[in-house]
Structure 1
Amino acid sequence: MQWRNTSEHYGVVAKSFHWVIALLVIGLLGVGLYMESLDPSPLMFKLSFWHKSFGITVLALVAARLVWRFMNTHPHSLPTHAGWEKTLAKITHGLLYLALFAMPLSGWIMSSAKGFSVNVFGWFTLPDLVGENEQIGSIARSIHGYAGYALIVLIGLHFAGAMKHHVIDKDSTLRRMLPMVVVALGVMIAPASAADAPAWTIQKDQSTIAIEGTQMGAPFKGGFKTFDGVIHFDAGNLAGSKADITIDIASFDSASKDRDGSVQGAEWFDSKTYPQAKFVTDKFEAGTDPNSFIAHGQLTIRDKTVPVQLPFTLVVDDSGVATADGTLTINRIDYGVGAGQWSNPKDVGTDVKITIHIVAKK
């Protein structure tokens, strides 16, 4: 059981604060609206007693949650969140905290100003925040009412945002705040395989696959001009994410006609027999830093397939364009490229660095 937050997930304590406060606030808003319709009666006084007690409880929980938030790592926004979504979320959360403090405090002041000390569950009585004062009581009542209606709007926005991420974007924004019992139930009733993450279209004119190697000790650079593939990716649905990339070997270009011609031969890529290289993912996992991931997959060159890991970063801008940058180093001998008389690393280095820069849109 994970008590504290991580950069990817909320811990048990943060989740408990969130859901207990949410349930109490929704209940208090409902009771408060109902009390507005009541004339003075034993029922109204009983409801008022419980309303105040639970309202003070919310005040204490919100204060404790805020302290816990500053004591913990806060999970970062998913890289698929647009800039406007992140800004709106920050504004909504800030206003929620403001309203959650304003509601119980204004209720406490209103009760004190009307000459009714706040007794909490019959356990103890809070000190009055102000003396009896009709004008202050009236102002506090107005603040209490406006804060209540503001909370209703903010909770509605918060709920709408969560549903948008869960139903439309199909990311993990809602799932990583759900209690474990709900997540476990969802796993039990979910299909055996995760639904595919959203598809992305590679922008070929903006994307590159570059390589770096050495020849007779001197570095050289090159790349493949033609490649394409299918990418399904969602940072919140890594189980449903996958990629299948095909590279046209004949499109290799290192700005040297002699080198580019020779590497197409039988001792190197043998592009006539093996015209394509392929990278197919097995799974994705989150990296240690925000927006970082690792693609585990199989890289096939010629007739050799070798498992590789491709660490990469992913950034999605406000317009929804995703940019992925990653680097891995392979040993060309593992793929039978330049083997035999060319296997001596003094002639041609065996380590080849591959750098990807992929720009994609949904």
Structure 2
Amino acid sequence: MLSRLFCKYRQALLVIAGSALLVSCDRLITPDFNTSVAELRGGQYTLDKEHATLLWKIDHLGFSRYIGRFNDFDATLDFDPENVENSSLEVIIDTATLDVNNEAFAEDLRGGDWFDVETFPQAVFRTTSFVEAVDEDTFIFEGDLTLLGTTGPVTMTVNFNGGGRNFLTRRYTLGFSATAEFLRSDFGLDNMVAFGVGDDIQVEVHVEFQDASQ
């Protein structure tokens, strides 16, 4: 009995020690990583495309949330940590890279009844104004989305994850996630809305930006 208790105690100590070692190693690898927005480095940033994901979600006849993505997009960020309201973001999406894990259906979505990528090969989002700070690292921006040749307002909620020198690239990096929601019919993308395919589109973005001055 005593030997079993000793073994369990030793295993628990090893788990705790291992967790502490991982945390300390993380701090050694990225010693200047900071989650406080005010402590992050301001300036011009470019998108790290290898660590960038743009998802869209739409209701499918009430049965599920259908999820797609765009595999190729670019973005630039002008970041002012001391006055976040002065920050700005531009995102340019290559709509032909639409991906729904079904190439036949993806090709249909690229066609004239849906995204019409031949006529409108890009969608663009640009922030236009600061709305409010939700908390110390979450902010709401108003922006203009241009899709299918139509431009309209879209609100984006941005959450800054933090920043620091990436030990893999040796470049100062910012990470954040963002969400937005809008009616696709406002931009002329109204196919199948009358038949129960959702009008409301949810957009989810997970990205890393690299200091453009490096």
Unpaired segments of 5 or more residues in structure 2?
1-34, 166-171
Q: Which residue in 1 is equivalent to 2:203?
A: 354
For residues 113-164 of structure 1, what are the alpha-carbon distances to aligned partners after superposition, in whole Å with 9 as ceiling and x for unaligned? xxxxxxxxxxxxxxxxxxxxxxxxxxxxxxxxxxxxxxxxxxxxxxxxxxxx
1:324 aligns with 2:170: no
Summarize the Cα distance change of 1:206–1:345 in structure 2 as closer, same or farther, 3 Å threshold.
farther
1:204 aligns with 2:49: yes
Summarize the Cα distance change of 1:294–1:322 in structure 2 as closer, same or farther, 3 Å threshold.
same
Q: Confirm or deny: 8 A CA contact 2:120 2:149 kept in the other structure.
A: yes
Higher share of residues assigned strand: 2
Q: Number of residue pairs matched?
A: 170
The one of 343, 346, 349 equivalent to 2:193 is 343
Q: Which residue in 2 is equivalent to 1:23?
A: none
Q: Confirm or deny: 8 A CA contact 1:80 1:316 kept in the other structure.
A: no
* Distance across 2 between alignment mates of 1:312 and 1:336: 26
Higher share of residues assigned helix: 1
Q: Which residue in 1 is equivalent to 2:37?
A: 79
Opposite residue 214 of structure 1, the aligned amino acid is D
Q: Confirm or deny: 8 A CA contact 1:326 1:357 kept in the other structure.
A: yes
Q: Confirm or deny: 8 A CA contact 1:202 1:229 kept in the other structure.
A: yes
Summarize the Cα distance change of 1:354–1:247 in structure 2 as closer, same or farther, 3 Å threshold.
same
> What percent identity do the matched residue pairs reach?
26
* Distance across 2 between alignment mates of 1:343 and 1:355: 21
Opposite residue 186 of structure 2, the aligned amino acid is D
SS in 2 for 1:205: strand
Opposite residue 334 of structure 1, the aligned amino acid is D
Larger radius of gyration: 1
Q: Which residue in 2 is equivalent to 1:246?
A: 92
Unpaired segments of 5 or more residues in structure 1?
1-76, 83-168, 170-196
Summarize the Cα distance change of 1:266–1:251 in structure 2 as closer, same or farther, 3 Å threshold.
same
The one of 156, 170, 185 equivalent to 1:310 is 156
Q: Confirm or deny: 8 A CA contact 1:296 1:308 kept in the other structure.
A: yes
Alignment of 1:44-193 (within 5 A): 78-81=36-39
* Distance across 2 between alignment mates of 1:239 and 1:354: 22
SS in 1 for 2:50: helix
Q: Which residue in 2 is equivalent to 1:173?
A: none
RCO (CA 8 Å, sep 6+): is it higher in 1 or 2?
2
For residues 247-273 of structure 1, what are the alpha-carbon distances to aligned partners after superposition, in whole Å with 9 as ceiling and x for unaligned? 000001011223211111112111100
* Distance across 1 between alignment mates of 2:134 and 2:60: 35
Q: Which runs of 4+ in 1 moved over 3 A?
A: none
* Distance across 2 between alignment mates of 1:80 and 1:317: 11
Q: Which residue in 1 is equivalent to 2:185?
A: 333
Question: What TM-score do the two structures reach when normalised by structure 1?
Answer: 0.44
